[in-house]
Amino acid sequence: MGTMRTGRTPPRVGDGPFFRRILIGIVLILGAFLILAPLLIIGVEAFAKGWQVYRDTILHPDTRHAIMLTVLTALVAVPVNTAFGIAAAWAVTKFDFRGKAFLLVVIEIPFSVSPIVAGVAYLFVYGLQGLFGPTLDAYGIKILFAIPGIILASMFVTAPFVARELIPLMQSQGRDLEEAATSLGASGWRTFFSVTLPNIKWALLYGVVLCNARVMGEFGAVSVVSGNIRGQTNTLPLHIELLYHDYQAAGAFASASILALIAVFTIIAKVALERRGAGRVRPAVNPAEKTA
Amino acid sequence: MKIRLDHVVKTFQTFRAVKDVSLEVQSGELVALLGPSGSGKTTILRMVAGLEFADGGHIYFGDQDATDIPVRDRGVGFVFQHYALFPHMTVAENIAFGMDVSKVKREKAVIQARVTELLRLVRLEGLGDRFPAQISGGQRQRVALARALAVDPKVLLLDEPFGALDANVRRELRRWLREIHTTLGITTLFVTHDQEEALDLADRVVILKDGHIVQQGTPEAVCRDPKSAFVMKFLGDANMLSAEVRDGRAYADGAVIEAAGLADGKAELYARPGDLDWVPQGGGIAATISRVMDRPSGRRVIATTRSGVHLELDLEAERTVKSGENGFVTLRRAKVFPV
Tell me which chain A residue has its CA closest to the CA of residue B51. A179
Judgement on whether residues B159 and B270 belong to the same structural domain of the protein: no
Cβ-based contacts of A186 with chain B (< 8 Å): 72, 97, 101
What are phi and psi for residue A127, nearest 5 degrees? -65, 165
- The reply to whether residue B88 touches residue A190, judged by beta carbons under 8 angstroms, is no
- B104 and B88, same structural domain? yes
Nearest CA in chain B to A176: B84
Asked if B255 and B166 sit in the same domain, the reply is no
Of A179, A182, A284, the CB nearest to B131: A284
**Quick count: other Cβ atoms within 10 Å of Cβ B320?**
8
**Is B216 in the same domain as B290?**
no
pLDDT in tens, A70-109: 999 999 999 999 999 999 999 999 888 888 889 999 999 9
Q: Which residues of B touch A180 (CB under 8 A)?
A: 78, 80, 84-86, 147
- The SS3 call for residue B299 is strand
Span B133-146, pLDDT tens digits: 999 999 999 999 99
Q: Are residues A42 and A54 in the same domain?
A: no
Residues 228-257 of B with CB under 8 A from A: none
Q: What is the pLDDT of residue A290?
A: 39
**Given this model, what pLDDT does residue A286 score?**
43
Mark which of B183, B212, B231 sits at the end of a domain.
B231
Same domain? For B41 and B136 the reply is: yes
A177, A179, A185 ranked by CB distance to B86: nearest: A177
Minimal Cβ distance to B87: which of A181, A185, A199: A199
Residue A6 falls inside a structural domain = no
Asked if residue A247 is part of any domain, the answer here is yes
Instruction: Select the residue of B82, B98, B134 nearest A283 (Cβ to Cβ).
Output: B134
Band of residue A56 on the pLDDT scale cut at 50, 70, 90: confident
Residues in chain A closer than 8 A to B150 (CB atoms): 184
CATH of the domain at B246: 2.40.50.140
The pLDDT-based confidence of B155 (bands split at 50, 70, 90) is: very high
| Residue finishing a domain among B200, B231, B262 | B231
Does the CB of A203 have a partner CB in chain B at under 8 Å?
Answer: no
pLDDT of the residue at B286: 92
Is the predicted pLDDT of residue B304 greater than 50, yes or no? yes
- Could you tell me if B187 and B28 are in contact, meaning their C-beta atoms sit under 8 angstroms apart? yes
Is the same domain home to A26 and A72?
A: no
Distance spanning both ends of chain A, measured CA to CA: 38
Q: Over pLDDT 70: what percentage of chain B?
A: 100
- Work out the average pLDDT over B37-60: 94
**Do A229 and A271 reside in the same domain of the chain?**
yes
Q: Does residue B263 share a domain with residue B133?
A: no
pLDDT in tens, B71-108: 999 999 999 999 999 999 999 999 999 999 998 889 99
Q: Could B133 and A190 be called an inter-chain contact, meaning their C-beta atoms sit closer than 8 Å? A: no
* Number of separate domains in chain B: 2
User: What sign does the CA torsion over A235, A238, A241, A243 have?
Assistant: negative
Give this prediction's pTM. 0.81
Q: Does B22 reach chain A within 8 Å, measured CB to CB?
A: no
In this structure, are B255 and B132 located in the same domain? no
How far is the C-alpha of B248 from the C-alpha of B233, rounded, in Å? 23
A143 and A258 assigned to the same domain: yes
**A245 and A285 inside one domain:** yes
Residue type, A29: I
Looking at the structure, tell me whether residues A20 and A139 fall in a common domain: no
Query: Is residue A29 a part of any domain in this protein?
Result: yes
Q: What is the CATH number of the domain that holds B185?
A: 3.40.50.300
DSSP for chain A, please give it: -----TT-----TT--HHHHHHHHHHHHHHHIIIIIHHHHHHHHHHTTTHHHHHHHHHHSHHHHHHHHHHHHHHHHHHHHHHHHHHHHHHHHHH---TTHHHHHHHHHHHHHS-HHHHHHHHHHHHSTTSSSHHHHHHTT---TTSHHHHHHHHHHHHTHHHHHHHHHHHHHH-SHHHHHHHHTT--HHHHIIIIIHHHHHHHHHHHHHHHHHHHHH--HHHHHHH---TTTT--HHHHHHHHHHTT-HHHHHHHHHHHHHHHHHHHHHHHHHHHHHTTSS-TT--GGGGG-
Over chain B, what is the mean pLDDT? 93
Give A-chain residues touching B98 at CB under 8 angstroms. Answer: 184-185
Q: Are residues A236 and A91 in the same domain?
A: yes
B80, A286: Cβ pair inside 8 Å? no
d(CA A283, CA B9): 43
Higher per-residue pLDDT: A205 or A276: A205
Q: What is the pLDDT of residue A283?
A: 43
d(CA A165, CA A151): 22
Top-confidence range, A132-141, A242-251, B210-219, B253-262:
B210-219
Query: Nearest CB to A184: which of B82, B88, B101?
Result: B101
- Asked if B289 and B174 sit in the same domain, the reply is no
Q: Is A172 part of the contact surface with chain B (CB cutoff 8 Å)?
A: no
Tell me the CATH number at A195. 1.10.3720.10
**A225 within some domain:** yes
**B106 and B223 fall within a common domain:** yes
Residues A131 and A169 sit within 8 Å (Cβ to Cβ)? no
Average pLDDT, chain A: 85
Share of chain A above pLDDT 70, in %: 90
Give pLDDT, residue A6.
66
Q: Which of B51, B82, B87 sits opposite A285 (nearest CB)?
A: B87
Alpha-carbon distance values, A143 to A41, A151, B124, B162 (Å): 37, 9, 63, 60
Please check whether residues A39 and A158 belong to one and the same domain.
no
Residue A11's pLDDT is what? 67
Give residue A41's domain range: 15-46
A182·B72 Cβ contact <8 A = yes
Q: How confident is the model at residue B198 (pLDDT cuts 50, 70, 90)?
A: very high
Instruction: Inform me whether the pLDDT recorded for B338 exceeds 80.
Output: yes
At A268 the pLDDT is 87
Domain count, chain A: 2
Specify whether A125 is located in the same domain as A24: no
The last residue of one of the domains, among B204, B231, B258, is B231
Q: For residue B47, what is the DSSP state? A: H
Q: Give pairs for A118-127: CB < 8 Å, separation 24+.
A: A118/A153, A118/A156, A118/A157, A118/A220, A118/A221, A119/A153, A119/A220, A119/A221, A119/A222, A119/A223, A119/A224, A119/A225, A120/A224, A122/A149, A122/A152, A122/A153, A122/A156, A122/A221, A122/A224, A122/A225, A123/A224, A123/A225, A126/A152, A126/A225
Does residue A1 belong to any structural domain of this protein?
Answer: no
Same domain, B72 and B193: yes
Element holding B5 (H helix, E strand):
strand B3-12
Give me the sign of the Cα torsion angle B166, B171, B177, B180: negative
**Do A36 and A114 belong together in one domain?**
no
A19 and A146 part of one domain: no
Confidence of residue B69 (pLDDT cuts 50, 70, 90): very high
Q: Are residues B35 and B78 in the same domain?
A: yes
B156 and B256 fall within a common domain:
no
Q: Are residues A198 and A127 in the same domain?
A: yes
Domain range spanning residue B67?
A: 3-231
| A268 or B59, which is more confident | B59
Q: What is the pLDDT of residues A243-262, one digit of tens each?
A: 888 888 888 888 899 888 88
Q: What is the pLDDT of residue A3?
A: 59
